Amino acid sequence: MPDTAMPILDVKGLKTVFRTRGGEVHAVNSVDFHLRPGELLGVVGESGSGKSVTMMSLLRLLPSPPAEMRNGTVMFDGQDLLKASPAALRAVRGSKIGFIFQDPMTSLNPVYTVGFQLAEPLRAHMGMSKSQARQRAVELLKLVGIPDAERRLGDYPHQFSGGMRQRVMIAIALACDPKVLIADEPTTALDVTIQAQIIELVKELRQKLGMAIIWITHDLGVIAGIADRVMVMYAGEVVEEGPVDEIFRNPQHPYTRALLKTVPAVRGPREERLQVIEGQPPIMHHAPAACSFRNRCEFAFDRCAREHPELQAIDAPGHRAACFLLDQALTQTPEAVDG
């Protein structure tokens, strides 16, 4: 993908706060990112790091209250989605931007047939007639590799296996030819052999349809295989982003490095003892005024508690990280930071 292409989705300063009885929780803290046409952006982070909330905020899918979008702009198709009218937003949701959720069982409606659920966006967004929608639904099921598509339109979600249900979810998300597909942990609930099927399917569909994809996951292996660019999130902030090879070869943020080391491999040399990241991710009751990772970071020093690190560029194009070590690294050799 050429780096110069205009982003199809441009997010700036996104800030989402949940107002709970236990006080405010700052789930997304000034997140900036962009997505170029045809690109696959991988979003990595642990639970609670704000990856899902960020993506839900884009389409204002979070119930408010308790969620509150405090700040930011989400430019898509020449309009700011955060300021768009409900009608304009509805025209985008499920149509120009498709969404695939983690659990295919809970995101499909159990009392409607799969055919009905596939036809719903087609009739709502594309104004298709019943028979047109049915025809398109059959095409879509074939596209995602569901055998015997015509007959299966009349089946209910419980009659499909987990992998097949996720294929149905993908078919629904693709129904209106979206420009952007947001996939929130689409393979986490699936077995590895089924995951492999779905990943192959997504790779194939990308080539065929050319949409841009945001793929949220905590599985670094999956990301390594499919992403063009990776964004690492921690405590509601982007701590590092860059091209996939850069992130895995040359990770700069201590959190990214630690995350890469905690995962044992199935191939290659075996570690005697797993590396751990001690402690727990913080619960953000306030907007971060310092580095949120400092309490778990082995390289933390006094400045990390005083100031808030901003994303800054590193040598490789498009690679940025938010860490004060980078300032030091400029004056020292990179090995010294490697510890």
- Is residue 150 at the binding interface for other proteins, with CB under 8 A as the rule? no
How many whole angstroms separate alpha carbon 283 and alpha carbon 57? 19
- Is residue 21 at the binding interface for other proteins, with CB under 8 A as the rule? no
Identify the residue among 223, 238, 291, 323 touching other proteins (CB under 8 A).
223
- Is residue 276 at the binding interface for other proteins, with CB under 8 A as the rule? yes
- Give the residue with the Cβ less far from other proteins, 30 or 52: 52
Q: Nearest approach, Cβ of 97 to other proteins (angstroms)? A: 26
Question: Residue 275: enclosing H or E segment and its boundaries?
Answer: none
In the range 153-212, which residues lie near other proteins by CB under 8 A? Answer: 161-164, 191-197, 199-200
Q: Nearest approach, Cβ of 28 to other proteins (angstroms)? A: 18
How many whole angstroms separate alpha carbon 133 and alpha carbon 139? 10
Size of the site for other proteins (CB under 8 A): 47
Only one of the segments 85-93, 125-133, 264-272, 308-316 lies at the binding site for other proteins (rule: CB under 8 A); that segment is: 264-272
- Residue 131 has which token pair? 């028979």
- Give the residue with the Cβ less far from other proteins, 60 or 167: 167
- Is residue 316 at the binding interface for other proteins, with CB under 8 A as the rule? no
- Three-state DSSP class for 140? helix
How many whole angstroms separate alpha carbon 4 and alpha carbon 320? 17
In the range 73-102, which residues lie near other proteins by CB under 8 A? Answer: none
- Is residue 331 at the binding interface for other proteins, with CB under 8 A as the rule? no
Identify the residue among 66, 225, 317, 334 touching other proteins (CB under 8 A).
225
How many whole angstroms separate alpha carbon 195 and alpha carbon 186? 9
Closest residue by Cα to residue 140 from 160, 167, 162, 107: 167
Give rounded-to-5 percent helix, strand, coil for the chain: 35, 20, 40
Closest residue by Cα to residue 12 from 26, 29, 30: 30
- Is residue 109 at the binding interface for other proteins, with CB under 8 A as the rule? no
- Give the residue with the Cβ less far from other proteins, 61 or 199: 199
- Is residue 274 at the binding interface for other proteins, with CB under 8 A as the rule? yes
Dihedral of the alpha carbons of 4, 8, 9, 10, in degrees to the nearest 10: 40
- Residue 139 has which token pair? 């095409």
- Give the residue with the Cβ less far from other proteins, 69 or 194: 194
- Is residue 245 at the binding interface for other proteins, with CB under 8 A as the rule? yes
Half-sphere exposure of 178 (CA within 13 A, CB side): 28
- Give the residue with the Cβ less far from other proteins, 17 or 259: 259
Q: Exposed, middle or buried, 239 (CB in 10 Å: 0-12/13-18/19+)?
A: buried
- Residue 290 has which token pair? 């310092």
Q: Nearest approach, Cβ of 20 to other proteins (angstroms)? A: 15
CA angle, 283 then 19 then 48, to 5°:
30
Only one of the segments 11-19, 73-81, 270-278, 298-306 lies at the binding site for other proteins (rule: CB under 8 A); that segment is: 270-278
Q: Which region, left, alpha or beta, applies to residue 145 given φ > 0 means left and ψ of -120 to 50 means alpha? A: left
Identify the residue among 80, 148, 177, 271 touching other proteins (CB under 8 A).
271
In this structure, which amino acid lies at residue 184?
D
Identify the residue among 61, 124, 224, 329 touching other proteins (CB under 8 A).
224
- Is residue 221 at the binding interface for other proteins, with CB under 8 A as the rule? yes
The contact set with other proteins (CB under 8 A) reads 46-47, 161-164, 191-197, 199-200, 218-225, 227, 244-245, 248-249, 258-260, 262-267, 270-271, 273-278, 280-281
